[in-house]
Amino acid sequence: MSTASEPRVPVQRTGGDDSSPLLEVEGLEVHFPIRRGLLVERVVGHVRAVDGVSLRVDSGGTYGLVGESGCGKTTLGRAVLRLEEPTAGRVRLGADEVTALKGERLRRHRSKMQMVFQDPLGSLNPRHNVDILLAEPLKVHGIGSKAERRKLAVDTLDAVGLPKSVLERYPHEFSGGQRQRLGIARALMLRPDLIVCDEPVSALDVSIQAQVMNLLEELQVEFGLTYLVIAHDLAVVRHLSDRVGVMYLGKLVEEADSESIYENPRHPYTKALLSAVPQPDPEVEATRERIILKGDLPSPANPPSGCRFRTRCPWAEDICAEQEPEWRETTAGHKVACHFDL
């Protein structure tokens, strides 16, 4: 690996990918206004939570989105589902432009895309038993009779490894792993095309995490699902994802297939993230290079000029403050936003 003291020559941008994905996000922005004033509020700035992100997810594939807390991962996932309104950009699911849908058309379209939330207990209504929780999405969309909805609930519970007997129980009566299985079952009830999984195993014990990850893989094959997995745990993303995108301060900084990004990271931020992952081999752990990032994550309300990572990058040079790096392809399918070929 190169050292920070060696000079680098900026590299040129190359071609792109022309495949047709199930999910396509182009130039997505989500900015939250900052308001001040007691009697009369006025907008004094914006928090740029997501700032021009583009990505594609192939049908039946899994796209893993990683980055530290506050980088905009969850906001991006919620904006894809229109749980947050995008400020700009476009989201397409199949032939439908999600960002252009309104009213009843948007409500009907929601059956094609669902979400598994990070906190399984907080996302389940504590006043409803499992029967009501699972039947609610079907009732909202006017699908099936009461008997048909119950049968589908039983079949879906079986698919996630829970017995029929849990239908009369309430969320507080389950363990964390069981509650996450319920959250997955609820997302499956409408048989969606896309499921956004927001930190699906971060609240679970390590032993339960493996079970839930294996379940997600099995369900993907059984139901032909497409996943957008949001996580900060690089091991989880590597296990689940075909393709990985790394976010920093509202922007994608690197994207590649899972094997490439873990074996040959090209962006300094990705290198730093991977260097922090402990290795099971003591000899490898003792000899490998650790990249320690200095400083804190800058405010998304006032991001640095040029490259947003430059204030913490050990390889930053003058051009990094003057110009924003282009999103370029270094090798087939491996894209990075950096002025240099590290």
Can you give the C-alpha Rg of the chain in angstroms?
A: 22
Q: What is the pLDDT, as a whole number, of residue 285?
A: 63
Q: What is the pLDDT, as a whole number, of residue 4?
A: 45
- Rounded-to-integer distance, Cα 257 and Cα 243, Å: 4
Q: What is the pLDDT, as a whole number, of residue 281?
A: 67
Q: What is the pLDDT, as a whole number, of residue 165?
A: 94
Helix (H, G, I), strand (E, B) or coil at 128: coil
Query: Within 13 Å of residue 289, how many CA atoms lie on the same side as its CB?
Result: 8
Q: What angle do CA 324, 97, 258 make, to 5 degrees?
A: 55
Contact in structure between 187 and 104 (CB atoms under 8 Å): no
Contact in structure between 118 and 63 (CB atoms under 8 Å): no
Q: What is the pLDDT, as a whole number, of residue 11?
A: 46
Domains of the chain and any CATH numbers: 1-94+193-342 (3.40.50.300), 103-112+120-192 (3.40.50.300)
Tell me the pLDDT tens digit for each residue of 146-184: 999 999 999 999 999 999 999 999 999 999 899 999 999
- pTM for the model: 0.89
Tell me the pLDDT tens digit for each residue of 283-310: 766 677 778 788 788 999 999 999 999 9
Mean pLDDT of the chain: 89
Contact in structure between 19 and 51 (CB atoms under 8 Å): no
Q: What single letter denotes the amino acid at residue 60?
A: G
Contact in structure between 228 and 211 (CB atoms under 8 Å): no
- Rounded-to-integer distance, Cα 76 and Cα 71, Å: 10
- Rounded-to-integer distance, Cα 116 and Cα 161, Å: 16
H/E segment holding residue 329: strand 327-331
Q: What is the pLDDT, as a whole number, of residue 12?
A: 43
pLDDT by residue for the chain (342 residues), tens only, comes to 444 444 454 444 333 344 578 999 999 999 999 999 888 889 889 999 999 999 999 999 999 999 988 899 999 999 999 999 999 999 999 989 999 999 999 999 999 999 999 887 888 999 999 999 999 999 999 999 999 999 999 999 999 999 999 999 999 999 989 999 999 999 999 999 999 999 998 878 888 889 999 999 999 999 999 999 999 888 889 889 999 999 999 999 999 999 999 999 999 999 999 887 777 767 766 677 778 788 788 999 999 999 999 999 989 999 999 999 999 999 999 999 999 987
- Rounded-to-integer distance, Cα 128 and Cα 186, Å: 13
Q: E-assigned strands of the chain?
A: 23-36, 42-57, 62-66, 88-93, 96-97, 113-116, 194-198, 226-231, 243-248, 251-257, 327-331, 334-337
Q: What is the pLDDT, as a whole number, of residue 147?
A: 93
Contact in structure between 335 and 264 (CB atoms under 8 Å): no
